[in-house]
Amino acid sequence: MKKSNIGILLGSMCCLLTIGICVQVKTVSSTTTTVGRTQMENGLRDSVLRWKEKYDNAYAKLEKEEKELENLREQASNTDDSASDMSNRLSEYNSLLGYTSLKGTGIVVTLDDGEATTTKMLTSDIIVHDADLLEVVNDLKNSGAEAIAINDQRIVSTTAITCAGNIIKINGEKVGAPFVIHAIGPTLKMYGAITRPGGYLELLEEVGVKVKVEQVEKSTIEVPKYEGAYKFEYATNVE
C-alpha cells in the first residue's frame, strides 16, 4: 500500500477515534451532571424532610406545653378561689372564737356600786357581784348579742366570771367597778330585753346598784379580741 493511502487511513481512524472520545466524554459528562443533580436534589429533599420533622416535633411539643400551661392556670385559679374561700371561713371562725376585734351597733350597759342612803342598806346589796354580771351577759346573749366585752375583757365560751374578795376576775384578769359592758347585736331587741319591766336590771336598781343603758345605732361600739388561748384537757377530736 502506498504511503499516501496509509496516511489517509490513519488520519481517518484518528478522526473517528477523536469523534468517539468526544462523544464518550460528552456522555460521561452528561451522566455525571445528571447523577450530581440527582444527588443534590435527593440531599435537599432529605434536608427538607428532616427540618419538617423537627418542625412537627417542635410544634407538637409547643401544643403540649400550652395545654399544660392552661391546666396550670386553671389549677391556679381554682387554688385562688379555694384559698379565698378558706381565708373567709378562717376569718369567720376567728370572729366566732373571739380572736378578732369587732365593731358594730348595739348597746352599752354600765353597772356601778351604789351608795348606802340609810343604815338599813347592806353593803353587799349595793355592790356589783359576779352573779350580776353573769345574769346580764346571759340576757344579752339570749337577745341576740354577737360579741360582748366587760371592761375590755372579751366574753367567749370559756370565759369565767368569778368573785375574788372585793374584786371580780374575768378571763383570769382582775376588774373592778364600774363595769362597762359593750354588746354588739340587734340594738332594739337587746335594749328591750335588758330594760324590760321586772327584768334583772330593774331588780339591781331597786337594791341601789347604779345602772345605765345606752343604745348605739351607729357602728361605733368596739369589742376587743380575746387575748387568751383555748385549751382542751379532756376533749379530743373524733376521727
pLDDT for residue 19: 67
pLDDT for residue 17: 62
Residue with cell 460521561: 28
Distance CA 157, CA 230 (A): 9
Burial class (CB in 10 A: 0-12, 13-18, 19+), 106: buried
pLDDT for residue 90: 72
Distance CA 72, CA 74 (A): 5
Residue 194: which of 128, 129, 133 has the closest Cα? 133
Q: Is 151 left (phi over 0), alpha (psi -120 to 50) or beta?
A: left
- For residue 102 the three cell numbers come to 369587732
167 alpha carbon, distance to own chain's centre: 44
Alpha helices by DSSP H, the chain: 3-97, 123-126, 130-142, 187-194, 200-207
Domain ranges of the chain: 1-68, 102-223
pLDDT for residue 122: 59
Q: What is the pLDDT along the chain (239 residues), one digit of tens a residue?
A: 444 455 455 556 656 666 666 666 566 555 555 555 566 666 666 666 676 676 677 667 666 766 776 777 677 666 656 666 766 777 777 777 888 899 999 999 999 988 866 555 556 778 899 999 999 999 999 999 999 999 999 999 889 999 877 789 999 999 988 999 999 999 999 999 999 999 999 999 998 899 999 999 888 899 999 988 877 788 888 87
Taking a C-beta distance cutoff of 8 angstroms, is the pair 134, 163 a contact? no
pLDDT for residue 2: 43
pTM beyond cutoff 0.75? no
For residue 142, CA distances in Å to 43, 44, 222 come to: 93, 91, 20
- For residue 236 the three cell numbers come to 379530743
pLDDT for residue 118: 56
Long-range contacts of 90-97 (CB under 8 A, 24+ apart): 95/147, 97/156, 97/226, 97/230
Phi first, then psi: give them for residue 150, nearest 5 degrees: -120, 115
pLDDT for residue 234: 84
34 alpha carbon, distance to own chain's centre: 74
CATH 3.30.70.1880 fits 102-223, yes or no: yes
